[in-house]
Amino acid sequence: MLTILRRAFSSHPYRAALAICWLILIFSVPNSFQIIFDYAGFLFVGIVGAIFANSTGAGGGVVFVPFFNQIDMHNSAIIATSFAIQCCGMTAGALTWHRHRRSIGIDSKANTSKVLDDGAQWLYVNKGLLITIPFSILGILIAQFGLSEYTQQMQTSLHIAFGVFSILLAIAIYGSIPLLKRKKLTKHLLPIDVLLLSVIAFFGGIITAWLSVGVGELVAVYLILRGFNVTSAIALAVILSAFTVWSAIFHHLFVTQAIYWYVLLFAGAGAIVGGIIAKRVVLYFSVVKLKLFFATWVLIMGITSLIT
């Protein structure tokens, strides 16, 4: 872990500058040492949540929501703070995955005939993002403003809704694992994929507004079930989630105003670190093992949410 962190920060000096700015911010706050003592543990929570999120395509809410629920944080604060942390972690992860795409020959000016075979498995990603991002944001905004009363009702029973969604998601992930061994991969989106991804992204956006998780997980599972390259499916889900959480955060900044800022200060920093190193985790470990571990974690969290 330390070696990964050293490489990640030494190769990009601006990351070190960002860390220095964070330290300056910490020590500019009154009673900074007491705040560090009280909240430093959230740094680790942010790292773990972002690694899960950016190495599986799922949002960090699968870690943040049950953890914050266990420490008796108010439901509105759980959702708002989870979104804010994900703005940090998913953005770092999205930028990292974007650089990875460019490193294998995919960019906006790429000539398809010259793209490497590995890169060809990523050709659908831009189109997939153009389809899913608008519908996901539309779903988020409708849930937050058009269905605001229903969204509030859903969040009053957050642990139940989160538990049910997590168990269903875990079952879907387990079901997708045997498909990871397919040798022939799908490389192009068909018209039916465009339609289904639009629907999934829209309703995934609504679910994300309720639970701070949803759209990334659903889109990633669909793409894997359809036979697309697992790594590119994860990358697409991470980038989609980054756009989605940023579209949602303004509601929590100006309407709910429920973000727990001290938690964000530490967990958000940890999420940036986790987002940076998550790609290396995906490329280092077996995809099957990652999926098994993640599905088991989600299942346990779902069951725990329902019984507590």
Q: Is residue 162 part of a domain?
A: yes
Give the tens place of pLDDT for each residue, 249-298. Answer: 998 888 888 888 888 888 888 888 877 776 676 666 666 777 787 778 77
Q: How much is the pLDDT for 135?
A: 95
pLDDT tens per residue, range 150-208: 777 776 777 777 788 888 878 877 877 776 666 677 778 889 999 999 999 999 999 88
* Encoded tokens for 54: 């950016």
The contacts of residue 178 (CB under 8 Å, 6+ apart) are none
Average pLDDT score, the chain: 78
Strand, helix or coil for residue 157: coil
For residue 20, being part of any structural domain is answered with: no
Does 62 score more than 80 pLDDT? Answer: no
Vertex 212: Cα angle to 307 and 283 (nearest 5): 100
How far CA 212 is from CA of 45, 242, 277, 294, in Å, comes to 16, 12, 22, 17
Mean pLDDT of 213-241: 86
Q: Residue 20: which pLDDT band, with cuts at 50, 70 and 90?
A: confident
For residues 248 and 217, which has the higher predicted lDDT (pLDDT)? 248
Residue 248 covered by a domain:
yes
Q: Are 88 and 275 in contact (CB under 8 A)?
A: yes
2: number of CA atoms within 13 Å, CB side? 0
Q: Which amino acid is at 157?
A: S
At residue 116, the pLDDT reads 47
Q: How many angstroms separate the CA atoms of 52 and 89, rounded?
A: 10
User: What are the two backbone dihedrals, phi and then psi, of residue 286, each rounded to the nearest 5 degrees?
Assistant: -65, 135
Average pLDDT score over residue span 10-31: 68
d(CA 215, CA 303): 21
Query: Looking at the predicted structure, is the pLDDT value of residue 224 above 50?
Result: yes
3-state secondary structure of 186: strand
Structural domain including 218 reads 32-105+118-307
The per-residue pLDDT for range 116-150, each reduced to its tens digit, is 455 667 888 889 999 999 999 999 999 988 877 77
Is residue 112 one of the residues assigned to a domain?
no
- Mean pLDDT for 108-117 is 47
Is 167 contained in some domain?
yes
pLDDT of 86: 87
Q: Quick one: pLDDT band at residue 113, thresholds 50, 70, 90?
A: very low
What is the domain count for the chain?
A: 1
11 found inside a domain: no
- Do 26 and 42 meet the contact criterion of CB atoms below 8 Å apart? no
Residue 258 is assigned to a structural domain of this protein: yes
Distances (CA, A) of 46 to 10, 87, 113, 194, 288: 21, 12, 41, 33, 24
Scan for tokens 């795409």, then name that residue.
101
Burial letters 264-299, b for 16+ CB under 10 A, else e: bbbbbbbbbbbbbbbbbbbeeeebeebbeebbebbb
Q: Residue 216 half-sphere exposure, CB side, CA atoms within 13 Å?
A: 32
The answer to whether residue 39 is domain-embedded is: yes
In angstroms, the CA 128 to CA 123 distance is 9
- 63-81: average pLDDT: 82
